[in-house]
Structure 1
Amino acid sequence: MLCETLNPTRRAVLGASGALFAWAFMPKFAHAAGGRDPRFVTIILRGALDGLTAVPPLGDPGYASLRQDIALTKDGENAALPLDGFFGLHPSMPYFQKLFQARQAAVVHASATAYRERSHFDGQDVLESGYPTPGHVETGWLNRLLEGLPAGELISPGPAERVRGLSVGANAPLVIRGKAPVLGWAPPVLKAADGDLAPRLMDLYGKTDPLLAGLLKEGIETGKIASGLDMKAKGGAGDPDGMEQMARGAARLIAGDGGPRVAALAFEGWDTHAQETERLAKLLTGLDRSLAAFHQELGPAWKDTAIVIATEFGRTARINGTEGTDHGTATTAFLAGGAIAGGRVITDWPGLKDAQLFEGRDLAPTTDLSAVIKGVAVDLLGADAGHLAEAVFPGSGKVAPMKGLIV
């Protein structure tokens, strides 16, 4: 799988840490629905999630024959968790099911971006840039969304008054790169330093470089808020422990009254060409634990939170010879949060008969993912529909924001 990387400079890293304590200058969202104080989180699943395994259409007569040995069932050893009678949920996602039953989570099935080829690199580019074709820009739709949000009433003017975003991970996902300032944070990957190291460095730089000393202090505080003093480095972005740690740290940073309100994370490893059953069970466990971490850490802010989980494309309707699936088209997006009008699978289901498959091989796309994101942005953040069509998702004027996603 090909993925873009970002090599942060020393200045960028220090600038990100310094941005944290400029939160007091951050504008509030003036026109958020109902005067609420919203949080909006985007989680990118890189590698192409198999939506037919994550949320299997158990009621479709074509499902079992297409999936054969990896098919989930309504009961027995390979039983899916129940959702609505027609669709089930992978058994590795019991927390999502709990949120679904509480009407705080929903599924958007048979969804896709405008991309119709099967390159991971290009598919991720379209998913994160917001353009209908790859290769246009170096900025992401979430950052451009930040640029266009109403400024509202500033608590106090200051140099970081536009800091509203949070990027989680060693490299900023394309979706949140751009002109709008963004705070960066990644879970620790090195052995914890001796307790006297930070004070010694503070003393040194306090005498020789006051600016660096201030940034160092802020960076230390960032780590304390995000990670907690009792957390140790765990797995990476494709491991359940790593996913949970990234989510828990992000939630701690956006939970406070003065914290960022918009965040982006990227989880890796969803390219399941072979032995999909074991691999996807592990990955979906990590995703489920990350949602539990957000719910637990956000506290009262959960009620005004929307989390959108999306991937670059789906996978083939038929399994291949190695009990996996190849690159496809439509897939599943997940929505979670106290602000989500949940408890439902949102879909214009295309069916799984041979004649109904896209190009004779894939689940057909019937819902444009940009409509989902636009709907959340308008009703939760007060985003302008015209700005969304022109700048955030250029050329998407015919795709209206989906209504009814936010309570």
Structure 2
Amino acid sequence: PDVRQFRVFAQSPAVEGGFEALYAQTVDEALRGTGTETFEAIDMLRKADPSRFQPEHGADYPRNRVGQALQQIAQLHKADIGLEVTFVDTGGWDNHVNEGGAQGQLANLLRDLGQSLAAFAQDMGDRMDDIVVVTMSEFGRTAHENGNRGTDHGHANCMFVLGAAVKGGKVYGKWPGLGPEHLNEGRDLALTSDFRSVLGEIISRHLGSKELNAVFPGFDNDPRKFPNLLKA
């Protein structure tokens, strides 16, 4: 979402103040606390004026959706409003037709994503010591092209992890191969790493949570199965 859209939908400050007073006076303690936190968050977001934000260290965010979203996340982080976890979604990857190769739809999307992540890391500078960025998708693509010069919904895919705490420059997990005998159901990249193990390590070792069973119930959250991608 756009930071500029965080506001109370009221026609005047008086009406907006009435909403705030209504929550403040409720006898329901949980509702009153939630309302207070919500209005405090809205006030902090107002003060983080996107129009006045200037990226640092020569960073230049692409003018695409993911680039502009990461720029706003950088702004919120620098505003020191207590940001702990946030996410960005970006579409357009479902290329069933004319996906392209080194050039084309997929190449353009990968370029936009790469340039946006690079700009974010450059802008944040030393703040990346306390930031871990993860990219993931809910499904992959078929290993072979379909009849429309695209690819269809597949099984496994890849995740990228970025941050000063990451032991980067390598591929984690087992590469299953693309031979016919290694493909899932003869068409998709086989799954060898569960995304919950990747996120579990970050949640546990970076965010400091020890309640992984509450985050991923029913999953084997054994730390010995983490990919060990974060520095000690």
Residue in 2 aligned with 1:173?
none
Residue in 1 aligned with 2:228?
404
Residue in 1 aligned with 2:177?
351
**Count of residues paired in the alignment:** 197
Residue in 2 aligned with 1:229?
52
The 3 A distance-change label for structure 1 pair 361 and 207 is closer
Bigger fraction of residues in strand? 1
Taking structure 1 as the reference length, what is the TM-score of the superposition? Answer: 0.44
Tell me if the contact between 2:67 and 2:116 (Cα under 8 Å) persists in the aligned partners: yes
Residue in 1 aligned with 2:46?
220
Selected match of 1:362 from 183, 188, 191: 188
The one-character-per-residue Cα deviations of 1:333-372 (angstroms, maximum 9, x if unpaired) are: 1111111110101121111111111111111111111111
The 3 A distance-change label for structure 1 pair 229 and 364 is same
Secondary structure in structure 1 of the residue aligned to 2:148 = coil
Tell me if the contact between 1:240 and 1:289 (Cα under 8 Å) persists in the aligned partners: no
Residue in 1 aligned with 2:147?
321
The one-character-per-residue Cα deviations of 1:265-296 (angstroms, maximum 9, x if unpaired) are: 11112111111121112211221122123213
Structure 2's unaligned 5+ residue stretches are: 6-10, 22-38, 55-61
Residue in 2 aligned with 1:205?
13
The one-character-per-residue Cα deviations of 1:217-265 (angstroms, maximum 9, x if unpaired) are: 655323x0xx23379xxxxxxx961211100101111234443121111
Selected match of 1:338 from 164, 186, 189: 164
Task: Tell whether 2:99 aligns with 1:291.
Answer: no
TM superposition shift of 1:205: 2.5
**Map of 1:126-145 to 2, 5 A cutoff?**
none
Structure 1's unaligned 5+ residue stretches are: 1-168, 170-185, 190-200, 232-238
Q: Could you tell me which amino acid in structure 2 is paired with residue 364 of structure 1?
A: A
Residue in 2 aligned with 1:120?
none
Measured in 2, the distance between the counterparts of 1:398 and 1:377 equals 11
Selected match of 1:304 from 109, 130, 133: 130
Residue in 1 aligned with 2:25?
none
TM superposition shift of 1:212: 5.6
Taking structure 2 as the reference length, what is the TM-score of the superposition? Answer: 0.74
Tell me if the contact between 2:66 and 2:88 (Cα under 8 Å) persists in the aligned partners: no
Secondary structure in structure 2 of the residue aligned to 1:263 = coil
Measured in 2, the distance between the counterparts of 1:265 and 1:208 equals 29
Tell me if the contact between 1:240 and 1:282 (Cα under 8 Å) persists in the aligned partners: no
Secondary structure in structure 1 of the residue aligned to 2:87 = strand
Tell me if the contact between 1:255 and 1:299 (Cα under 8 Å) persists in the aligned partners: no
Higher RCO (C-alpha 8 Å, min separation 6): 1
Measured in 2, the distance between the counterparts of 1:321 and 1:404 equals 40
The 3 A distance-change label for structure 1 pair 221 and 210 is farther
Tell me if the contact between 2:172 and 2:227 (Cα under 8 Å) persists in the aligned partners: no
Tell me if the contact between 1:240 and 1:283 (Cα under 8 Å) persists in the aligned partners: no
The 3 A distance-change label for structure 1 pair 370 and 252 is same
Measured in 2, the distance between the counterparts of 1:312 and 1:374 equals 17
**Map of 1:5-404 to 2, 5 A cutoff?**
169=1, 186-188=2-4, 205=13, 209=17, 218-222=44-48, 224=49, 227-229=50-52, 241-277=64-100, 278-384=104-210, 387-388=211-212, 390-397=213-220, 400=223, 401-404=225-228
Alignment identity in percent?
Answer: 35
Tell me if the contact between 2:142 and 2:151 (Cα under 8 Å) persists in the aligned partners: yes
Tell me if the contact between 1:243 and 1:267 (Cα under 8 Å) persists in the aligned partners: yes
TM superposition shift of 1:208: 8.6
Measured in 2, the distance between the counterparts of 1:398 and 1:260 equals 26
Q: Could you tell me which amino acid in structure 1 is paired with residue 148 of structure 2?
A: T
The 3 A distance-change label for structure 1 pair 373 and 217 is closer
